Structure formats: structure tokens, C-alpha cells
Amino acid sequence: MVLCKKWVLAKAFHGKVTAENFRLEEEDISDKLKDGELIAEAVYLTVDPYMRVGSEAGNVVGNAMGGEQIAKVIVSKNKQYPVGSIVRMRAGWRTHTLVTDAEKQIQRSAEMGDLPLSLMLGAMGMPGMTAYFGFLKICEPKEGETVVVSGAAGAVGSLVGQIAKLKGCKVIGFAGTDEKCDWLKKDLGFDFAYNYKKVDVDTALKEAAPNASVDCYFDNVGGMFTVKVLNHMKLFGRVSICGSISNYNDTSLPTGPLPFFNILKSQLKIEGFIVLRWYAIWEEGEKAMLQWIKELRAGPDVPKWKKITYCYEIVFICLA
Ligand SMILES: NC(=O)C1=CN([C@@H]2O[C@H](COP(=O)(O)OP(=O)(O)OC[C@H]3O[C@@H](n4cnc5c(N)ncnc54)[C@H](OP(=O)(O)O)[C@@H]3O)[C@@H](O)[C@H]2O)C=CC1
Ligand SMILES: CCCCCC(=O)/C=C/[C@@H]1[C@@H](C/C=C\CCCC(=O)O)[C@@H](O)C[C@H]1O
């Protein structure tokens, strides 16, 4: 018998998330496996903002919270995944998982050589692919262009900013503490970083992108912040709507000034996306990320802004 501990959704989310939304439960998993089955033990779990969106993201009261994890096979009757194999799967917030249908449940092997395994949930995983495809395919940045990123110190935003620097853009980030802004500028090479809790976005963008000169906006936060950024876009600017984290805890629909006249006047292209639309070409993004990470490790001459989050040892947490 293997004892599994799991965090169950005890109460549906409404407004801010509290400890009452979760309950720790135990489950016995039989280790008398049938052919093809295996048991994997979690090494890293993810906690991502989309989980807050609730049942739409697959979270059902009474079930373990969903999400991806990196896990190590500890009992196996599956030749493809012997004991010791490392896998990535959507097993949720649980310490142990009985895999009865490996083909369906396991996304892929997660061998990373001498790189941190957690990268498979970060720069080389869903957040990394979100940054890579959501920015490059929708914003289509060109050298010398000005890029604004909100939620810039998060898993996705910090990668978008670094990719934008790799593409030769001027990058302006917004984050919620001075420490995060220092990190963005000093370690990741952002040209400007503002604490949106202290500096009004209009004031910031008048300084960093005067005369409405923003070519691309990668939006992680939505709400009034984004309505204001749209006033600073250049003619034919491109906006990638990735997330709307400023609204996830809201209990009613947001109201406010409508941005449509500005969108029309500046002839903006605005597109929302869910990263899974690019799942068929995921490998392209993984290859590019791996290459940039290897360049970072190649030596001290690599510019600081090439730090494509090889440093992500920790899972990216929000539940804002
Ligand atoms: N479209 C898609 O397919 C995907 C979309 N996403 C979205 O991307 C966004 C970022 O995800 P990810 O990087 O993983 O998140 P992280 O958990 O790494 O970062 C989220 C950050 O958002 C900031 N934040 C929280 N509340 C607010 C608020 N009210 N206003 C402004 N900022 C806020 C906080 O940073 P701070 O201290 O700076 O405020 C927080 O740390 C989310 O909106 C998520 O839903 C993610 C993956 C896929
Ligand atoms: C609809 C809210 C989306 C919030 C943005 C986000 O963080 C997306 C993350 C995806 C996630 C999708 C989760 C829920 C979307 C539900 C849409 C639906 O049609 O039901 C997950 O699939 C991986 C991330 O890419």
C-alpha cells in the first residue's frame, strides 16, 4: 500500500481564496499493479493562476486540485517507464498517483540532464510556452520596437520580457513591488520597470514610451490597467491578451471606461489566446527555450537579459 496525501477543493472559490477552500485528505493506493500500470511520486507541483478560475479549469469540489506535476516512478509494471523514470503529468496536488493508462495520463518523460527538473513546469513547460507562442505569434515583435509587459515579474511575464530583449526590443515592465522592479531591470535587463502600486501607468508610459509609442502589449492583468495602456499604443499596435488576473477574484463583471474608440482610432490588433492552441507545435517552443537556457549557461559573457529563467527552481505561485 502507498499512502497518498492530496489537497482537495473543499469549497468552491468565491472572491478571495482562503484556507477554507482546501482540505488535506489521505488515500491508500494499492501497489498490486496490473500490467502497464505504475505509481509515481510527486517531485514538483504547480500552482497557477488559471486554477482560481474554478470548475472551468477542471477543479471540482471534492476532487483533488488539478494541475501539472513532475513525478518519479516508484513502482512499475510498465516497461516504458521503469522505476526511477521522471515524468510530467496532469496529476494535480497529490503526493502519489496511480497511473492506469500511461499513454493518456503521462504527457512526456521529463529528463533534463544537468538542468533543474523544475524547468519542465516553468520555462520549458506551460508558462514558457505561453510566453513564447503568446508573445511571438500574436505580437510579432520587430527589432527596435517598444514592448510593454504587465505581470512582468511572474512566470510568464518575466519570460516575455526576456524574449523581447532577445528580439532587440525596448522592454517596459510593470510589477507590484520595488524588489521585483529592481530584479527586472538589474537581472533580466528590462529597460524600464515600474511598481504599478506606486506609479500611475499613464505617468510611467509618458516617460518610458512618450507620444503613444508602444508597439506591443503583452497583457497578464486586464482591467483598468489594460484600458489605460491601450491609450499609449502606436498606430497598428498589437496586443496579446494572455491573462486577466486583476479580475479573477471579482464576484461581479468589471465595469469602466470602454476602450473601443481607442482601439478603432489606433487601429489595434487585439487577440486573446489559450496556449493549448499551439500544442501541436510545442516542440518548437521547447527547442528555442532550451537553446536560450544553454546559451545562458555557456559562460559569463552572455548578456544578463539572456537569463531565460534557468533560475526558476520554485513553482510559480499566484492564487492572487
Ligand atoms: N492564456 C493562457 O493560455 C495562459 C494565461 N496565463 C495567464 O498569465 C498570467 C500570468 O500567469 P503566471 O505568470 O503564471 O502567474 P504568476 O503566478 O507567476 O504571477 C502572477 C502575478 O500577477 C500579479 N498580480 C496579482 N494580482 C494582480 C492584480 N490585481 N493586478 C496586477 N497584477 C496582479 C502578481 O504580481 P505583482 O506583485 O507584480 O502584482 C502575481 O505574482 C495570469 O493572468 C494567467 O492566468 C498563464 C498561462 C497560460
Ligand atoms: C478562461 C480563463 C483563462 C485564464 C487564462 C489562463 O491562465 C489559462 C491557462 C490555461 C489553462 C486553461 C484553463 C482554463 C480555461 C478554460 C477555458 C474553457 O474553454 O473552459 C490550461 O489549459 C493551461 C493554460 O494554458
In a domain, 314, yes or no: no
How many A from CA of 209 to the centre of ligand 2? 31
Residue whose grid cell is 469602466: 256
Please say whether the beta carbons of 170 and 268 come within 8 A: no
How many A from CA of 54 to the centre of ligand 2? 10
Write down the pLDDT at residue 296: 81
In a domain, 252, yes or no: yes
In a domain, 119, yes or no: no
Report the CATH number that the domain containing residue 159 is assigned in CATH: 3.40.50.720
Q: If you take atom 15 of ligand 2, which residue's CA is the nearest one?
A: 57
Task: Check whether residue 103 and residue 161 sit in a common domain.
Answer: no
Beta strands per DSSP E along the chain: 2-9, 22-29, 38-45, 69-76, 86-89, 96-99, 106-109, 146-149, 170-175, 192-195, 214-219, 233-241, 269-272
Q: What is the number of the ligand closest to the CA of 246?
A: 1
The mean pLDDT of 64-92, rounded to a whole number, is 96
pLDDT bucket at 58, cuts 50 / 70 / 90: confident
The mean pLDDT of 273-298, rounded to a whole number, is 93
Give pLDDT tens digits for 136-159: 999 999 999 999 999 999 999 999
Report the CATH number that the domain containing residue 99 is assigned in CATH: 3.90.180.10
Task: Check whether residue 160 and residue 214 sit in a common domain.
Answer: yes
Mean pLDDT for all residues in the chain: 92
Atom of ligand 1 nearest to the CA of 152: 38
Cα–Cα distance list, 243 to 50, 52, 83, 156, 232 (Å): 9, 12, 38, 10, 19
Write down the pLDDT at residue 308: 60
In a domain, 181, yes or no: yes
In a domain, 313, yes or no: no
Task: Check whether residue 102 and residue 131 sit in a common domain.
Answer: no
pLDDT at 105 over 70: yes
pLDDT at 201 over 90: yes
pTM for this entry? 0.94
Write down the pLDDT at residue 304: 53
pLDDT at 124 over 60: yes
Which residues lie across from 172 on neighbouring strands?
Answer: 148, 192
In a domain, 315, yes or no: no
Cα–Cα distance list, 45 to 92, 93, 117 (Å): 7, 6, 11
How many A from CA of 232 to the centre of ligand 2? 28
Q: Range of 35's domain?
A: 2-109
pLDDT exceeding 70 applies to what percent of the chain?
92
Q: What is the ipTM of this complex?
A: 0.97
Task: Check whether residue 86 and residue 141 sit in a common domain.
Answer: no
- Domains: count for the chain: 2
Q: If you take atom 7 of ligand 1, which residue's CA is the nearest one?
A: 243
Task: Check whether residue 138 and residue 215 sit in a common domain.
Answer: yes
Task: Check whether residue 19 and residue 137 sit in a common domain.
Answer: no
Q: What is the number of the ligand closest to the CA of 175?
A: 1
Q: Which of 258, 276, 294 is the last residue of a domain?
A: 276
How many A from CA of 14 to the centre of ligand 1? 18
Which of 192-206, 222-236, 251-265 is predicted least confidently?
251-265
How many A from CA of 195 to the centre of ligand 2? 27
DSSP output for 205-234: HHHHSTTT-EEEEEESS-HHHHHHHHTTEE
How many A from CA of 220 to the centre of ligand 1? 6
pLDDT at 309 over 60: no
Task: Check whether residue 88 and residue 162 sit in a common domain.
Answer: no
Write down the pLDDT at residue 136: 98
pLDDT bucket at 313, cuts 50 / 70 / 90: very low
Task: Check whether residue 32 and residue 133 sit in a common domain.
Answer: no
Write down the pLDDT at residue 254: 83
Q: If you take atom 45 of ligand 1, which residue's CA is the nearest one?
A: 243
pLDDT at 225 over 80: yes
Write down the pLDDT at residue 319: 37
Q: What is the number of the ligand closest to the CA of 51?
A: 2
How many A from CA of 146 to the centre of ligand 2? 28
pLDDT bucket at 316, cuts 50 / 70 / 90: very low
Burial of 62 (0-12, 13-18, 19+ CB in 10 A): exposed
pLDDT bucket at 300, cuts 50 / 70 / 90: low
Task: Check whether residue 160 and residue 210 sit in a common domain.
Answer: yes
In a domain, 260, yes or no: yes
Ligand 1: lining residues by beta carbon, under 6 Å: 48-50, 127, 130, 151, 153-157, 175-177, 180, 220-221, 242-243, 245-246, 273-275, 316-318, 320
Cα–Cα distance list, 130 to 157, 164, 239 (Å): 9, 14, 14
- Among 223, 238, 232, residue whose Cα is nearest residue 268: 238
Atom of ligand 2 nearest to the CA of 130: 25
Give pLDDT tens digits for 38-56: 999 999 999 999 999 876 6
pLDDT at 312 over 50: no
Task: Check whether residue 137 and residue 87 sit in a common domain.
Answer: no
Write down the pLDDT at residue 297: 77
The mean pLDDT of 262-280, rounded to a whole number, is 97
C-alpha 156/C-alpha 119 separation (Å) is: 13
Write down the pLDDT at residue 299: 59
The mean pLDDT of 113-129, rounded to a whole number, is 94
Q: Which of 53, 274, 316 to mutate to test the pocket of ligand 2 (most atoms within 8 A of CB)?
A: 274
Task: Check whether residue 152 and residue 27 sit in a common domain.
Answer: no
Cα–Cα distance list, 315 to 75, 127, 157, 261, 264 (Å): 26, 10, 15, 40, 39
In a domain, 297, yes or no: no
Write down the pLDDT at residue 205: 98
Q: Which of 80, 109, 138 is the last residue of a domain?
A: 109
Q: Which of 53, 60, 250 to mutate to test the pocket of ligand 2 (most atoms within 8 A of CB)?
A: 53
User: Which one-letter DSSP state was computed for residue 306?
Assistant: G
pLDDT at 315 over 50: no
Q: Please report how the helices 126-139 and 155-166 are oriented relative to each other, as an axis angle in degrees rounded to 10.
A: 50
- Among 249, 198, 253, 256, residue whose Cα is nearest residue 230: 256
Task: Check whether residue 247 and residue 130 sit in a common domain.
Answer: yes
* Residue 79, C-beta contacts closer than 8 angstroms, at least 6 positions apart: none
The mean pLDDT of 92-99, rounded to a whole number, is 97
Which residues lie across from 89 on neighbouring strands?
Answer: 69, 106
pLDDT at 204 over 70: yes
Ligand 2: lining residues by beta carbon, under 6 Å: 49-50, 53, 56-57, 126, 243, 274-276
